[in-house]
Amino acid sequence: MKAPKQKRADKKKSHIPFRLNLLFFIVFLLFSSLILRLAYLQIVLVDDYQAEVERTERTTITGSVPRGEIFDANLNKLVGNEARHSITYTRGKNVPARQMAKVAYDLGDYISMPHTTAFDVERSFDLSERDLKDYFIAINQEEVRERLSDEEMRLAGPESYQVMLDKISTDEVRSFEERDLVSAAVFKKMNAAYSLSTVNVKNADVTQEEIARVSENLDKFPGIDTGTDWVRHYPEGDMLSSIIGSVSTEERGVPEDSLKTYLAKGYSRNDRVGTSYLESQYETVLNGTKSKIETETNTSGDIINQIEQYSGHKGDNLVLTMDIDFQKTVEQIALDSLGEREGLSNSIYIAAMDPRNGDILAMTGKEVEDGEVKDRTYGVFFDNFNMGSSVKGATILSAYMDGVLDSSNNVIVDQPLQLKESNSISSVFNRSGAEAVNDITALEVSSNVYMSRLAMRMGGEWDYTSNMTLNIDGQKLLEKQRKYFNQFGLGVATGIDLPSESSGFAGPGTSPAEGLFYSFGQYDTYTPLQLLQYTATIANGGTRIAPRLVSEIRDTNTETGSIGALKTEIQPRILNTLDVSETAMERVQQGFYEVVNGNRGSARNYFGDTPYVSAGKTGTAQAFYWDDELKKITDEVTNLTYVGYAPHDNPEIAIVVVVPNLPVSSSQRSNRENVRASRRILDAYFKVGEFKEESSGESIETVEDLVDGAEDLAEEENTTEEDEE
């Protein structure tokens, strides 16, 4: 039996209200859960979330400390630190440029900020056009963005910023008023800071009034603080400046080419570091240990508190091997010698070393450019020259070491050599005759022929006949000669504690004749320092010692701030010892003695009256003049050199003097500063003659010495030294 239609319809309609009620009930439960959750968050967890909002973050950052100082051998300060008031800025995390620009503008009311724009001068300006545009963007970001197209707005990173810079005209920044320029100068300094790093906004000519005004209003300038900074100070002026080196500015910071290395060592990008010579070589010693500051930042990245955990430690100090008084005297001798310039000669190089331990006693290079004397001390270890006969001691000892010279065959007839593969070779003392000389006499009279014959022996050719063809492998001969010369320091790095020294220049030829000219210093080129190391090696009996400028590393006395206790004593560094007999070495030393003291010695007129006994060797080399402006060789010139040491029997000092680019013809030059300056240097070292210390009450010289010296000097003025080559 079927139910009535009306009843079935009512039954069907009853399902709709139930579903709606179920939906309403579910919605009710969801809203109830949400209300309960909000109540839980706002009532139960309110303290936790309030703490999260007020949460701060602590980060340890480092601060710079004064660099170590540099002293001479008697602890006279050569490089110090000058303390200065400073106004600093420490950049917080994620601090936008707009915020820094506002601080910069406000700070401009409290300090003066010297500035010069690129629109005012062509060079040495403080604010470039780019700096001014950076500041313009920082204070007008919305306005600049409105100038961008929709496509330009989608750019990001450097591309976006470059487009913004392009939208600013030169006239807009050129029209900045004085107040804006001051703010732009401050902003530039602040903008150089990286996140959680500190830079000096102003550290020169900061007045006490500025320090007081800023200190009283630090709450107005987030990140700004006052403190003390340092700059390098040079009590002796430019003395030794070219080997002491320089320190980078805060703006330059760490050199880009070594950035990764410095960052790995804990440096910051804007740290000041040594960029050349001693400052660079001893960077890890001079740099010190940075201070550590615990910095507290809020959730916005603003710095709200700083606590010093470690004050840092000033860099350690260097003690040099030089006596500044002796160095000053040597520099004056160099300046005096420049007064004797002739031809294209415009420079002189002088260096002195203790052959017993490698201590550099003095080092200078002077050059005249556009009528002004400039320091070129770095040229002692960087500039290369043909040195001439000064190297003949190495030639004779090379022959002994090679086994082609001994007591049974050390006499060779000096006569002009006529060879098919070479220009003729002769000695100044014997242009056309024939004279038998041994190794000692060959040094005394500076025999080019003797040295050439030794080179022939080393190449396998023992006999000589006029117009002969040399049956010698020229390349192998040069390789052999250089191998021996390297043991003296000629043609290789000397090992001095400075970066970037030159190793000299090896000629590219391979003919036997070039090996002959090599034997008397007319082929490869060397630095004055290499020539000095070679001289010291002969003076001390055959031990090649690395030259050193630093003898000690000392701490700083924390109570007085002066130089403190010894931390490290730099020991002499032996590079090699010559494999040559004591007899052979003594014969070369005797040859050097005869150059200065023998009847035929080329230096006898300059050292004959000294109260000390010295030894040495003169050199005259034909060379070519390189014109830096034209970038080519323009003239033939002559280089004069002298190497020596004293006292002869127990050397304390070895010296080298190089006077390059003199006229070729001896009739066109009277310059003898290679030996004159050498005599004065040794006199200054031993404090005799014009350098005698009158206060001592004693004199090494006797009345007879003075009378004899006057006679010798008078004779010297009337004597012209002959060329050796």
pLDDT tens per residue, range 580-599: 999 999 999 999 999 999 99
Catalytic pick among 389, 446, 602, 678? 389
Structural domains in the chain (count): 2
Chosen domain end from 149, 175, 194: 194
Whether 30 maps to a domain, the answer reads no
The CATH number of the domain holding residue 686 is 3.40.710.10
Residue 1 has pLDDT above 60, yes or no: no
Query: Measured between alpha carbons, how far is 724 from 602 in angstroms, rounded to an integer?
Result: 9
**386 CB-near residues (< 8 Å, 6+ apart):** 521, 522, 523, 524, 525, 621, 622, 623, 639
SS (H, E, C) 484-507: HHHCCCCCCCCCCCCCCCCCCECC
Query: Measured between alpha carbons, how far is 352 from 619 in angstroms, rounded to an integer?
Result: 17
The CATH number of the domain holding residue 175 is 1.10.10
| 242 counts as catalytic | no
- pLDDT-based confidence at residue 709 (cuts at 50, 70, 90): very low
Whether 286 maps to a domain, the answer reads no
pLDDT value at position 52? 53
pLDDT value at position 42? 73
Integer angstrom CA distances of residue 647 from 204, 354, 564, 591: 51, 11, 35, 15
Whether 306 maps to a domain, the answer reads no
Query: What are 86's two structure tokens?
Result: 């400073």
Q: What is the mean pLDDT of residues 599-617?
A: 93
pLDDT value at position 271? 84
Chosen domain end from 153, 174, 194: 194
Whether 120 maps to a domain, the answer reads yes
pLDDT value at position 659? 97
Residue 713 has pLDDT above 50, yes or no: no
Answer yes or no: do 334 and 186 share one domain: no
Query: Measured between alpha carbons, how far is 355 from 655 in angstroms, rounded to an integer?
Result: 10
The helix (run of H) or strand (run of E) holding residue 684 is helix 673-686
- pLDDT-based confidence at residue 573 (cuts at 50, 70, 90): very high
Q: Which amino acid is at 519?
A: S
* Burial of residue 86, with CB atoms counted within 10 A of its CB: 0-12 exposed, 13-18 middle, 19 or more buried: buried
Query: Measured between alpha carbons, how far is 337 from 364 in angstroms, rounded to an integer?
Result: 12
* Residue 526 near residue 385, CB atoms below 8 Å: yes
Whether 431 maps to a domain, the answer reads yes
Query: What are 245's two structure tokens?
Result: 């080196």
The rounded percent of the chain whose pLDDT value lies above 90 is: 56
Question: How high is the mean pLDDT of the chain?
Answer: 86
pLDDT value at position 373? 93
Residue 39 has pLDDT above 60, yes or no: yes
The rounded percent of the chain whose pLDDT value lies above 70 is: 87
Residue 700, CB half-sphere, CA atoms under 13 Å: how many?
16
Higher pLDDT, 76 or 313: 76
pLDDT value at position 155? 85
Q: What is the mean pLDDT of residues 216-223?
A: 87
Q: What is the mean pLDDT of residues 227-236?
A: 88
Query: Measured between alpha carbons, how far is 471 from 294 in angstroms, rounded to an integer?
Result: 78
Most confident range (mean pLDDT) of 197-211, 279-293, 708-722 is 197-211
* Burial of residue 262, with CB atoms counted within 10 A of its CB: 0-12 exposed, 13-18 middle, 19 or more buried: middle
Query: Measured between alpha carbons, how far is 307 from 293 in angstroms, rounded to an integer?
Result: 6
Query: What are 353's two structure tokens?
Result: 């070393």
pLDDT value at position 397? 98
Helices 324-338 and 673-686: angle between axes, nearest 10 degrees: 160
Q: Which amino acid is at 163?
A: V
Residue 22 has pLDDT above 50, yes or no: yes
* Residue 116 near residue 127, CB atoms below 8 Å: yes
Whether 44 maps to a domain, the answer reads no
Whether 89 maps to a domain, the answer reads no
Residue 239 has pLDDT above 50, yes or no: yes
pTM: 0.82
Looking at the chain, how many residues does it have? 725
How many CB atoms are closer than 10 A to CB 405? 23
Cis amide leading into 508 (omega within 30): no
Query: Measured between alpha carbons, how far is 657 from 619 in angstroms, rounded to an integer?
Result: 10
- pLDDT-based confidence at residue 293 (cuts at 50, 70, 90): low
pLDDT tens per residue, range 488-498: 999 999 999 99
Greatest C-alpha distance within the chain: 164
pLDDT value at position 281? 94
Query: Measured between alpha carbons, how far is 424 from 444 in angstroms, rounded to an integer?
Result: 22
pLDDT value at position 4? 53
Whether 591 maps to a domain, the answer reads yes
The residue range of the domain holding 440 is 326-542+578-717
CA-based angle 602:485:359, to the nearest 5?
Answer: 75
Chosen domain end from 145, 177, 194: 194
pLDDT tens per residue, range 431-476: 999 999 999 999 999 999 999 999 999 999 999 999 999 999 999 9
**597 CB-near residues (< 8 Å, 6+ apart):** 604, 607, 608, 613, 615
* Nearest alpha-carbon partner for 247 in 278, 201, 288: 278
Query: Measured between alpha carbons, how far is 471 from 342 in angstroms, rounded to an integer?
Result: 42
Site of tokens 């007879």:
704
